[in-house]
């Protein structure tokens, strides 16, 4: 269907007429509302304000997670590791444990704790920082304070040995405190005039 300039004019005049009718109807309703209200015929609630507030009480909650407990075997030239996740918002974070190695002529192992970035660097033979590094020893205990909101690795390395498998009797625990919401209180206020 083709549209002529005259057809477009008719459509636009209809649209203008419809807008004018809508404005007129709104004006009539507004005037009627004001007239009825001032005559006392309508009872209208002038304003309502509602506010809702809530509050929570946080309670410190201690957690302890076992990371490893028992005998692990570390092959020559290899290492074993355990991933340790510390939640964001945790505090008083401690990774603690003990280990005793046996096997080979030195009955020794290297135990380290490092963050994710340093673990990747260490795996690839690059320099890495540690939170704990036992050095090559038979036995030791450790207690390491860790920052919250990160992943760490507890590593048992026998990479220095080319022949001997090491058996390591070990245990390690992660403990921390978190604030946990315990009470939620709601307060609702209504004001009417």
Q: Give per-residue pLDDT as tens, 144-182.
A: 999 999 999 999 999 999 999 999 999 999 999 998 877
Beta strands in 39-164 (DSSP E): 48-74, 79-86, 91-102, 110-115, 132-133, 139-145, 150-157
Tally of structural domains, the chain: 2
Q: pTM, whole model, 2 decimals? A: 0.67
The reported pLDDT for the residue numbered 66 is 97
Q: Confirm whether 188 is domain-assigned.
A: no
Residues 67 and 129 in one domain: yes
Q: Are residues 90 and 36 in the same domain?
A: no
Q: Are both 87 and 137 inside the same structural domain?
A: yes
If asked whether residues 6 and 79 sit together in one domain, one would say no
In a domain, 89, yes or no: yes
- Domain identity same for 66 and 36: no
The domain in which residue 29 lies consists of: 1-46
Q: Are residues 125 and 40 in the same domain?
A: no
Predicted pLDDT of residue 59: 86
Give the end of a domain, one of 46, 64, 83. Answer: 46
Structure tokens belonging to residue 152: 């760490």
Which of these ranges, 84-98, 99-113, 119-133, 169-183, has the smallest mean pLDDT?
Answer: 169-183
Query: How far is it, in rounded angstroms, from Cα 149 to Cα 89?
Result: 7
Residue 184's pLDDT is: 64
Query: What CATH number corresponds to the domain at position 64?
Result: 2.60.120.680
pLDDT average, residue stretch 112-125: 97
Inside any domain, residue 159: yes
Same domain, 2 and 94: no
Query: Would the CA dihedral through 148, 153, 156, 162 be positive or negative?
Result: negative
> What's the pLDDT tens digit per position in 11-50?
456 566 666 676 776 666 666 666 666 666 554 454 454 5
The region that residue 125 occupies, defined by phi over 0 for left and psi between -120 and 50 for alpha, beta otherwise, is left
């Amino acid at each position: 269907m083709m549209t002529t300039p005259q057809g477009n004019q008719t459509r636009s005049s209809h649209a203008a007429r419809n807008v004018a009718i809508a404005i007129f109807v709104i004006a009539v309703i507004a005037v009627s509302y004001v007239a009825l209200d001032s005559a006392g015929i309508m009872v209208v609630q002038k304003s309502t304000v509602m506010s809702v507030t809530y509050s929570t009480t946080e309670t410190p909650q201690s957690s302890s997670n076992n990371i490893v407990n028992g005998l692990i075997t570390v092959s020559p030239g290899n290492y074993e590791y355990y991933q340790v996740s510390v939640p964001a918002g945790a505090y008083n974070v401690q990774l603690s444990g003990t280990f005793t190695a046996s096997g080979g002529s030195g009955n020794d192992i290297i135990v380290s704790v490092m963050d994710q970035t340093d673990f990747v660097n260490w795996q690839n033979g690059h320099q890495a920082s540690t939170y704990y590094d036992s050095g090559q020893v038979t036995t030791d205990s450790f207690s390491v304070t860790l920052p919250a909101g990160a992943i760490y690795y507890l590593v048992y390395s026998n990479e220095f040995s080319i022949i001997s498998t090491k058996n390591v009797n070990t245990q390690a625990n992660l403990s921390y405190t978190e604030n946990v919401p315990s009470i939620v209180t709601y307060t609702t206020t209504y004001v009417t005039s």
